Structure 1
């Protein structure tokens, strides 16, 4: 009965998740710098962050945030500050003293918890995701759709997001890819830092519509 609606939700989500943004940048950076394990945990963190957006969308809190300039700006500046913080840290990266290839399979400096939290916070604080899920649950999904079915959509969205970014992590953590980026050394980390800072600045100037 709800297959048409579900397929619409899946298509809209696919177009959104495939669009490069903070989530993509942070997963790529973790995968290249710290390996597949860190990249995968970051991807799972991004997927976990989806549950935050689904939760408040189902509760109607997202509508309140979208209607409150103060709350929206607070969320926006918090997210922008976090991206700027990560970006500046990456921008200050120094040349590594050991070869990246030697640690491809077993990065020692990045914990699973740290990678997961980075992905979770990056996605959970994104106000653009707030607006996306608000529109998804108010425009695409019929308000009369049972809450349990809507929750099922939310589980799918979280799992699909995690799977997509796990694939991204797998791609960018391959030995050949990492070796290629390793030849650029700390310049890659600085470049990704610049990207994150640019995304943070862009996010800071996002207007509530």
Structure 2
């Protein structure tokens, strides 16, 4: 029971702390509509499931113990965030989207944005590893660990669905769209800064 409560608590904390995932979900929900936001959230949940899978397989431990491999993956993730941030900044426009949903942003594109943002984030890797290395014990059954992984992935997904539903309320979304140009530029700058922050983080920050 203590393990379960710890996993739930960590998932809540990781989900609600603003980061690249939050910025991407919020941007896509406001620009592409509710479907785009939910598909972005789904991509993030699927990516977290990938982190869980290789953490359970032991591959994540090997990555965390190899400075070279960890730093290579970290730089790949940082480069993607910088690319995404620059793309957002350059494509920013004061013109509101002509449509919402699939016409404004294809669902598969939103899914891809969410998936790549999370799967290349080394902090998500460390989150999955910390749960299975520090919270669970060798006596914890594999199926129980898989259940924890499902809680982590689905919990993060549900949080971002709630974020999407709130920010796509007509009044809220319209308010943000009135400052669309600066909103997109701000998201672009934030993602670029997230990427740069990851790139300059030293390997000594690994758990």
Q: Calculate the TM-score normalised by the size of structure 1.
A: 0.93
Native 8 Å contact 1:75 1:127 kept in 2: yes
| 1:22 Cα deviation after fit | 0.8
Native 8 Å contact 2:82 2:192 kept in 1: yes
In 2, Cα distance between the equivalents of 1:114 and 1:106? 12
SS in 2 for 1:166: helix
In 2, Cα distance between the equivalents of 1:177 and 1:91? 22
Alignment equivalent of 2:188, drawn from 193, 204, 207: 193
Q: What is the Cα-based RMSD across aligned positions, in Å?
A: 1.4
Q: Give matches, 1:25-174, under 5 Å.
A: 25-97=23-95, 99-100=96-97, 103=99, 105-106=100-101, 108-174=103-169
In 1, Cα distance between the equivalents of 2:202 and 2:165? 35
In 1, Cα distance between the equivalents of 2:116 and 2:93? 27
| 1:109 Cα deviation after fit | 3.4
Q: Report runs of 4+ in structure 1 exceeding 6 Å deviation.
A: none
| 1:95 Cα deviation after fit | 2.8
SS in 1 for 2:10: helix
Tell me the number of residue pairs that the alignment of Structure 1 and Structure 2 aligns. Answer: 204
Native 8 Å contact 1:86 1:193 kept in 2: yes
Native 8 Å contact 2:36 2:107 kept in 1: yes
SS in 2 for 1:29: helix
Counterpart of 2:197 in structure 1 is: 202
Native 8 Å contact 1:137 1:143 kept in 2: no
| 1:107 Cα deviation after fit | 5.3
Q: Calculate the TM-score normalised by the size of structure 2.
A: 0.93
| 1:106 Cα deviation after fit | 4.0
Native 8 Å contact 2:36 2:101 kept in 1: no
| 1:168 Cα deviation after fit | 0.8
